[in-house]
């Protein structure tokens, strides 16, 4: 298995030892070596799976799935990743738990973790809440482990929070690495991370923030484009600028979709709500102000409607490098004339890139599995090498 051997060779040159027994919150909290190690382990696990070799590291145990927002790809990617490594997934439904009766986060986290090795959480709807909730869960289970209540501290994987969507951004980047033939070939590539019109309101900021917070680490020319009033978190822009400076790339912000698309190697047109609007929504929900929430939704839909021309069209794709930029999306996209009357992307563009989009999504289970693997295995290179033994074949 050439891909496995290549990954192992790269892993041997990297220092990622601090990932062991750790958690995965934000990509910019990880070193370059740790990010690269996650990519390489994902490739190794994929090579094993595609060659019918079992990569299981667990004989029993639970992976707890906590989704506080709807999900298709990430939910099934998490389940696939955990199953790949030998864990059983148990979905935690707050509506069916004692959370509804006032059970605290500390109590809930410990009660679900007696035989849990992983907790995956999506909590992306409210600014200042999602990432903080994940840290609260980790602090609770760490305390339970120190007290001897839990035999192990479950690893937390951020499946999307209010700040970052690390599994998505890393799957997107691994797709680019494969598409362009190596991580070294990302340097100098222009990425247009642009806002696009959607007839719905309140889409999270974490996808565009995840993209600019990660892709600026590879010497890429990352452009964030949006109409005025759709700003992302300033601290994430600061991360992107620092990353670009350190990697020899660039990070710029513009208010023109055409400018962003011109000469781009990769385009990522995706709707999101502004940082200020998401802050207002969080405050309204905190006060239980239903009338205020309805008024804000109406306001934001009207604001969106002023920018229906922000669409990924054939004309805009023609502005890209050679007219053949790679189109990315986290899915589902708002497809004009298909899923909505007017949306993020023209149907002809989406249809042309349908297979590459599905390929892009296919990397996410391996990214999640790699995050778990690096947190649970002390000697990843040795364990992955041993998994190449033909005696571990899945179906023989």
CA distance from start to end of the chain: 18
Structure confidence at residue 100 (pLDDT): 58
- Collect the ranges in the chain with pLDDT lower than 70: 100-101, 390-396
Rounded Cα gap, residues 154 and 376, in angstroms: 9
Tell me if 327 sits within 8 A of 349, measured CB to CB: yes
Note whether 89 and 78 are same-domain residues: yes
What's the domain count of the chain?
A: 2
How many residues does this entry show for the chain? 396
Phi, psi of 92 (to 5 degrees): -100, 110
Specify whether 338 is located in the same domain as 382: no
Asked if 152 and 269 sit in the same domain, the reply is no
pLDDT in tens, 269-281: 999 999 999 999 9
Q: Which residue matches tokens 């690390």? A: 166
- Same domain for 184 and 298, yes or no, is yes
Let me know whether 138 and 229 are in one domain.
no
Q: Are residues 347 and 380 in the same domain?
A: no
The predicted pLDDT at position 32 comes to 98
Q: Are residues 357 and 371 in the same domain?
A: no
- Same domain for 179 and 130: no
Range of the domain at 39: 2-164+364-392
175 and 284 belong to one structural domain: yes
Distance, CA of 376 to chain centre: 20
Residues 142 and 178 in one domain: no
56, 183: one domain: no
| Residue 99: predicted pLDDT | 73
Specify the pLDDT at position 165.
Answer: 98
| Same domain membership, residue 102 and residue 180 | no
The 10s digit of each residue's pLDDT in 87-137 is 999 999 887 777 756 789 999 999 999 999 999 999 998 999 999 999 999
How far is the C-alpha of 196 from the C-alpha of 261, rounded, in Å? 12
Residue 68: φ, ψ to 5°: -95, 10
CATH code of the domain in which 84 resides: 3.40.50.1370
pTM above threshold 0.85:
yes
Tokens of 118: 């992983």
| Contacts with 181 (C-beta within 8 Å, 6 or more apart), sequence order | none
- 381-384 contacts, C-beta under 8 A, 24 or more apart: 381/8, 381/11, 381/12, 383/57, 384/4, 384/7, 384/8, 384/11, 384/41, 384/44, 384/45, 384/48, 384/55
pLDDT at position 212: 98
CA torsion, ordered 259, 263, 266, 271, to nearest 10 deg? 10
What's the pLDDT at 72? 92
């Amino acid at each position: 298995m050439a891909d496995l051997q290549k990954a192992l060779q790269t892993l041997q040159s990297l220092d990622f030892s601090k990932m062991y027994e750790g958690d995965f919150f934000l990509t910019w909290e990880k070193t370059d070596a740790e990010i690269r190690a996650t990519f390489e382990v994902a490739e190794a696990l994929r090579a094993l799976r595609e060659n019918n070799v079992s990569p299981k590291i667990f004989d029993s145990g639970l992976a707890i799935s906590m989704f506080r927002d709807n999900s298709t790809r990430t939910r099934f990617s998490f389940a696939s990743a955990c199953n790949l490594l030998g864990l059983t997934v148990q979905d935690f439904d707050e509506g069916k738990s004692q959370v509804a009766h006032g059970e605290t986060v500390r109590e809930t986290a410990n009660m679900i973790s007696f035989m849990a090795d992983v907790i995956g959480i999506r909590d992306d709807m409210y600014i200042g809440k999602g990432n903080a909730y994940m840290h609260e869960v980790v602090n609770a289970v760490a305390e339970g482990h120190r007290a001897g209540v839990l035999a192990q501290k479950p690893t937390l994987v951020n499946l999307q929070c209010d700040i970052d969507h690390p599994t998505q951004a890393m799957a997107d980047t691994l797709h680019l690495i494969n598409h362009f033939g190596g991580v070294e070939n990302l340097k100098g590539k222009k990425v247009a991370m642009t806002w696009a019109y959607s007839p719905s309101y309140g889409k999270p900021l974490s996808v565009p923030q995840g993209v600019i917070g990660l892709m600026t680490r590879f010497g890429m020319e990352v452009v964030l484009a949006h109409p005025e009033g759709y700003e992302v978190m300033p601290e994430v822009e600061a991360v992107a600028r620092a990353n670009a400076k350190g990697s020899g790339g660039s990070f710029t912000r513009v208010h023109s979709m055409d400018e962003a698309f011109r000469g781009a190697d990769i385009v990522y047109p995706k709707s999101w709500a502004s940082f200020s609007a998401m802050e207002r929504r969080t405050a309204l929900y905190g006060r239980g102000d239903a009338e205020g929430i309805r008024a804000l939704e109406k306001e934001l839909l009207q604001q969106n409607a002023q920018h229906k021309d922000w669409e990924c069209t054939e004309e805009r794709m023609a502005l890209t490098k050679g007219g053949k930029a790679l189109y990315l999306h986290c899915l589902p996209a708002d497809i004009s004339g298909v899923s909505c009357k007017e949306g993020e992307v023209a149907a002809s563009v989406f249809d042309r890139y349908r297979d590459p989009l599905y390929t892009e999504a296919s990397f996410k289970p391996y990214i999640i599995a790699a995050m778990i693997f690096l947190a649970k295995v002390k000697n990843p290179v040795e364990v992955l090498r041993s998994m190449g033994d033909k005696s571990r074949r899945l179906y023989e």
